[in-house]
Structure 1
């Protein structure tokens, strides 16, 4: 299935949805290569599949498939009168205990103020449909790996030395679209596109 394909939903079981900016193919490949090298040095339980690299905009959670058309219509409205934006990746970091982090991530640079504006637009558009904003502050990032499992305590110095040389963390791209994803647990890749939302270039 290509990046712009839509998913058909035939049943009524809930679907776990979220909105996100996908990394472009070239950058997904570069980050994937960086992570394959890192995985030989750092033991994490799960490394993100290359096709799944993204920057979350809003997590929507379990959703009745019958409400998806209305949700898509509301999301498309957020892209009107919103120009494309330029983003980049930057240094890596962690969430969780320094010695045993829960998440290894890459930070986001570029026009992050406009990314936050897009996030706010989406939250405002989905609120009337019953979706709630997360209580924690919005922190855009790309999840690279989860659950450190090394025998020794995690060493951030080793990570810093490695990622300083990573070309992928100096690449930028123009964001001209974003997607509505559905989660397919235990599949690889784990995220499937429900709808692609194109940003107006006017």
Structure 2
């Protein structure tokens, strides 16, 4: 089983707890819910890679963050990907923020320069909550959202690796703190 890597904005543990408590799993029968500790906002999915690529992207991202300052993100509404009646992914979105899109573009450019082949779909920032609708009844969209307006400060992004045999399954490889802080795990 290959290890996959991705770069993502972490969420504070208090925000993760709020998100988990905001939705009733009984009302939304998906087959697999994301573990609370695994909640994140993906910037770029890298897939499998060589040690050389990992070292190169770490070096480039460390250089990138020296010029970045913290910014604020705000949760928006729940949504789905896939069939409207039997969705593949259930997520919570973030309000549009120019700095997030710029960070994602900058990180993507560095990844491509390091030899990664990235998904060409336009960036759609979201926090995946669950996968695979589990019952025959159709999915009913969530009415309203008590999470709208909830904010957090983004002060870093993280290189994660997936360890599919463990729960939680995402492990920190390296933290890229804005302003140039270095925190290797």
Superposition TM-score, scaled by structure 2 size:
0.91
**Within the alignment, does 1:77 sit opposite 2:63 as a pair?**
yes
Q: Which sits farther off after the overlay, 100-109 or 61-70?
A: 61-70
Secondary structure in 1 matching 2:68: coil
Q: Secondary structure at the match of 1:81?
A: coil
Root-mean-square deviation (CA), in Å? Answer: 1.7
Classify the secondary structure of the residue corresponding to 2:37: helix
What is the CA-CA distance between 1:15 and the residue it aligns to?
3.0
Q: Note if contact 2:44-2:104 (Cα within 8 Å) is conserved in structure 1.
A: yes
User: Residue 132 of structure 1: SS of its match in structure 2?
Assistant: coil
How many Å apart are 1:132 and its aligned residue? 2.3
- What are structure 1's unaligned runs of at least 5 residues? 1-12
Instruction: Give the gaps of 5 or more residues in structure 2.
Output: 181-185
Aligned to 1:9: none
Relative to total residues, which structure has the larger helix share, 1 or 2?
A: 1
- How many Å separate the matches in 2 of 1:52 and 1:98? 25
CA distance 1:185–1:198, shift in 2 (3 Å): same
Q: Say whether 1:200 aligns with 2:185.
A: no
Partners of 2:6 and 2:46 within 8 A in 1: yes
Secondary structure at 1:102 match in 2: strand
**Cα distance between partner residues in 1 of 2:63 and 2:106:** 9
Q: CA deviation at 1:153?
A: 1.0
Q: Any idea what the Cα deviations from partners look like across 1:132-174, whole Å, max 9, x if unmatched?
A: 2311100000001100012311111xx225xx3x3x4331011
- Aligned counterpart for 2:80 among listed residues 69, 88, 94: 94
Partner of 2:143: 160
1:53 to 4, 22, 39: 39
Q: In the comparison of the two structures, how many residue pairs are matched?
A: 180
Cα deviation for residue 66 of structure 1 reads 4.5
CA–CA distance in 2 between the matches of 1:104 and 1:133? 23
Render the CA deviation track for 1:31-76: whole Å, top value 9, x for unaligned: 11123xx201111010110011111000111012344222211111
